[in-house]
Structure 1
Amino acid sequence: MREWQVALLERATGHTLATWNASVREADPADEAALRDWLRERGVTGYAQMLLVHEHFGYPEFFTRTGEELIERQYADRPALRPVFDAVIARLPEVGPAVTVQTRKTYVSLLTPRRTFAVVAADTKSRVDVGLRFADLPADDRLLPAGSRWSGAMTARFPLTDVEDVDEVVGWLRQAYRDNE
């Protein structure tokens, strides 16, 4: 994720991370709020701003872990669900030509080159949810309301309790990918 944020910062501002870090050191903000205000005044917001805050004040512990370490922690107390997660990830080549996987502290985001189209999370001890972002919500009894779990970005969720359930979600992942290209 850090690499993605660095590229975003550089695309948005035309300046390298090293240049921004030097400018932040020179500005010497008193605290995080002051740094955020300073960055906002210079048009740096969102993920790019978060990157520079972390660069200056330190990264949270989960940010310094590898993707595999984060996934191991997500499934540590629900090992029976790890094969379900692994089966979803194994099927991604069938979903779209350029799926990017970003591991977060409590879930995994799946992105098209444009934006997040799905998330995978072990939301209970007995279920993995695949959150999906559709342009128009399809009618299907297995698709449930996403709720607010993923900041409202996902419009539906597909519950998985077993590896065999993964076959059913691949088509929905494909459609969500196309809707978000």
Structure 2
Amino acid sequence: MQSWQSMVDTNAARLLRTTGRTPAEWAAEARQAGVTSREDLSRWLKGQGVTGYNLMSVDWEVFGLPDFFLRSADELYDAQYQDRPLLKPIADRLILWAAETPGVVIQMRKTYAALQTTRRKFAQITPGTRTAVDLYFRLAVPELPGLEPVRANDPFAWRVRLRAVDDVDDAVLQALTVALEDSLARSSA
């Protein structure tokens, strides 16, 4: 499982690749330019052509990382289920599938675990309620019982609610495999 550190490293590498400068170099120049707030930094960087993830990388260098970025993947995961211990075995079963499946990267976040290929997220595990783990998909998998549409205008528009470890059955694991294969196909296209 990966923590936020992998995103921090990826963004820093992207900034170096696209601008030829490290976050520390940009941060030093921003300080010399008199930047003292996030808003000023954003305006100043955009004026330099630095936006998006590259801008975030410099922001973190200047103002520091959010507290939850400093937690390990295990700490983030445990915190998600701290007040829902009966749900953790359900999530554990999904994480085990992901850990044992070639091509799957597990990105642990503050409130969910993202299952992705190296370039694209294909599923998300979220402690959705006090009684269920929500497994979100980017695509509809018609063979999956209980799959329902959710959240219009979101790429993860499909969800299945899992209330017991036994709900993580062959159909759910097959749906994850289909979603993974779709993600791999789209990443290579």
Shorter-chain TM-score above 0.5: yes
1:144 pairs with 2:148: yes
Q: Relative to structure 1, is the Cα distance of residues 87 and 11 closer, same or farther in structure 2, using a 3 angstrom cutoff?
A: farther
Q: Deviations over 1:128-151 (max 9, x none)?
A: 1111112xx333541111316xx7
The answer to whether the 8 A contact 2:24-2:58 is kept is: no
Q: Deviations over 1:64-84 (max 9, x none)?
A: 111111111110110011111
More moved, 72-81 vs 51-60: 51-60
Q: CA deviation at 1:33?
A: 1.0
Equivalent of 1:103 in 108, 115, 118? 108
1:155 pairs with 2:157: yes
Q: TM-score w.r.t. structure 1 length?
A: 0.85
1:76 pairs with 2:82: yes
Q: CA deviation at 1:111?
A: 1.5
Any unmatched runs of 5+ in structure 2?
185-189
Q: CA deviation at 1:94?
A: 5.6
Q: TM-score w.r.t. structure 2 length?
A: 0.82
Report the secondary structure of 1:38's partner residue.
helix
Q: Using the alignment, how far apart are the partners of 2:49 and 2:124 within structure 1?
A: 29
Q: Using the alignment, how far apart are the partners of 1:116 and 1:80 within structure 2?
A: 26
Report the secondary structure of 1:54's partner residue.
helix
Q: CA deviation at 1:56?
A: 0.9
The answer to whether the 8 A contact 2:90-2:168 is kept is: yes
Q: CA deviation at 1:93?
A: 4.8
Q: CA deviation at 1:180?
A: 1.9
The answer to whether the 8 A contact 2:99-2:106 is kept is: no
Q: CA deviation at 1:90?
A: 0.5
The answer to whether the 8 A contact 2:98-2:106 is kept is: no
Q: CA deviation at 1:121?
A: 0.6
4+ residue runs over 6 A deviation: none
More moved, 40-49 vs 160-169: 40-49
RMSD: 2.1
The answer to whether the 8 A contact 2:98-2:105 is kept is: no
Q: Relative to structure 1, is the Cα distance of residues 126 and 111 closer, same or farther in structure 2, using a 3 angstrom cutoff?
A: same
Equivalent pairs counted in the alignment come to 176
Q: Deviations over 1:40-89 (max 9, x none)?
A: 23333223322221221122111111111111111011001111111101
Q: Using the alignment, how far apart are the partners of 1:19 and 1:50 within structure 2?
A: 14
Q: Using the alignment, how far apart are the partners of 2:49 and 2:181 within structure 1?
A: 31
Aligned-residue sequence identity (percent) comes to 39
Q: Using the alignment, how far apart are the partners of 1:41 and 1:65 within structure 2?
A: 33
